[in-house]
Amino acid sequence: MRVYHFTSAKYAIDDIKRKRLKVSRFNELNDPFELLAADLLDPKHRQAFANFKNEVNDKAGIICFSGGWGNPLLWGHYAVKHTGIALGFDVSDEMLIDVRYTSSRPKIEFDKINRRVVDGHQVLDKLISTKFTDWKYEDESRMYVKLDQSSNEKGMYFVDFSSDLILREVVLGMNCSESVEEVRKLVDSDVTKVKVIKAGMALRKFKVIEDRSFRPAQKASNP
């Protein structure tokens, strides 16, 4: 499945050079309802869920992707006001969790004795894939990553590019200052073929599209 990861130009170039993506921690994500998207009307449930979220955050994280790169909101929110880059990957379907968008928060069962979430693994699966309906523009899929403490780099964790995470596209934002040609040279050293394009504004729709003026010149054929 082809999906896109939005980030700043600085981090995208570093990701390409190091062939890896940074894992996001649940307590650092921009949605305060992450892993708390359940019905928490009961005060006892609130504390249980806070504990549950902290436990998960200590052991795992996610990498966020979008199904496309044409929505201008994605560039404004996740690519530093269109100055960043979208990295397109082919990712194994079984490694991705598709987000479901809803306006209602699911009810979760709690153990009244120990005040813990019942069936924690199933609840985790449900909450990782549940977001408020207004986030629907993200068209998000997520990769759940268990943290390997041996690879801890000052509190940060990464997933290496692999046969399950293959870089296929690099889309420079319309306000990105990175040189298209330099990025093409950077990925040309890779074994896999990677397409590098520049984003631009559509003329009749509110959509981000390829700026074709940045396409590489066609090589003249021999007579």
H/E/C letters for each residue in the chain?
A: CEEEEEECHHHHHHHHHHCEEECEEHHHCCCCCCCCCCCCCCHHHHHHHHHHHHHHHHHEEEEEEECCCCCHHHHHHHCCCCCCEEEEEEECHHHCEECEEECCCCCCCEECCCCEECCHHHHHHHHHCEEEHHHHHHCEEEEEEECCHHHCECCECEEECECCEEEEEEEECCCCCCCHHHHHHHHHCCCCCCEEEEEEECCCCCCEEECHHHCCCCCCCCC
β-strand partners of 128: none
- Mean pLDDT score of the chain, rounded to an integer? 91
Q: Which of 50-59, 85-94, 117-126 has the lowest mean pLDDT?
A: 117-126
Domain membership flag for residue 43: yes
Q: For residue 222, what pLDDT is reported?
A: 54
Q: Specify the residue for token string 């009244």.
A: 112
Rg (CA), the chain: 20
Domain membership flag for residue 221: no
Domain membership flag for residue 198: yes
Residue range(s) defining the domain that contains residue 144: 2-214
Q: What number is the average pLDDT over the span 47-65?
A: 91
pLDDT band at 67 (very low <50, low <70, confident <90, very high): very high
Q: What is the pLDDT of residues 92-150, one digit of tens each?
A: 999 999 999 999 988 877 776 776 777 767 888 888 999 999 999 999 999 999 998 87
> Quick one: tokens of 223?
């007579």
Domain membership flag for residue 222: no
Q: For residue 39, what pLDDT is reported?
A: 82
Total count of domains within the chain: 1
Domain membership flag for residue 220: no
Q: In angstroms, rounded to a whole number, what is the distance separating the alpha carbons of residues 175 and 4?
A: 18
Domain membership flag for residue 202: yes
Domain membership flag for residue 223: no
Q: For residue 110, what pLDDT is reported?
A: 73
Higher confidence at residue 13 or residue 41? 13
**220 Rama sector, left if φ>0, alpha if ψ -120 to 50, beta otherwise:** beta
Q: For residue 118, what pLDDT is reported?
A: 74
Q: What is the pTM of this model?
A: 0.91
Domain membership flag for residue 40: yes
Q: What is the pLDDT of residues 154-172, one digit of tens each?
A: 889 999 999 999 999 999 9
Q: For residue 17, what pLDDT is reported?
A: 95
Q: In angstroms, rounded to a whole number, what is the distance separating the alpha carbons of residues 35 and 53?
A: 6
- Are 168 and 90 contacting, i.e. CB atoms less than 8 angstroms apart? yes
